[in-house]
Amino acid sequence: MREATLKVKDLELALSRDLGSAKASLQAANIQPEEKKIEAGPQIDGLLTLAQISPRAAILEAWVKVEATGAAVVKRVVKDDLPRQLRSPVMFGEVLKNKNHIPTEVMNAILKLRDIRNRTAHTIEFQPSIEDAEEYVLLAGAVVADMETIE
């Protein structure tokens, strides 16, 4: 039992650290999550409400929006034929970074958000806090709003 508690505490610390790192990366790219919330609109408000009920679900749903937006942007702006392994929706960040549509800082934030989503989805005993879920939703919303401006 003590080992499980330690693992959960470690995940809580890692989550806070990774959220801070993702936020710093976005700020380095001159993206302010609080300002992007307005641009992202009602979808973010709905996820913030969900965070109050189920923080885990809010994180998972926020990532779905990031991944879906990224895949849609790749489909819209990358005109050349992509190799089969890069056509997967999970590869959107790598494709956008390699085609110079997003800066390294945004890519770093995407990677942190993906890591947080994966740990949240696959570590059953871990339950993120409401505050961490809200922060994740705001960061994911900022990434979504920024990607939607790519032409």
Range of the domain at 114: 2-147
pLDDT tens, 5-29? 334 556 677 888 999 999 999 999 9
Tens digit of pLDDT for each residue in 101-128? 999 999 999 999 999 999 999 988 888 9
Number of domains in the chain: 1
3-40 in b/e form (b: 16+ CB < 10 A) is eeeeeeeebeeebeebbebbbebbeebebebeebbeeb
Residues in the chain: 151
> Average model confidence (pLDDT) for the chain?
84
pTM, entire model: 0.85
Per-residue confidence (pLDDT) for residue 56, from 0 to 100:
96
pLDDT band at 55 (very low <50, low <70, confident <90, very high): very high
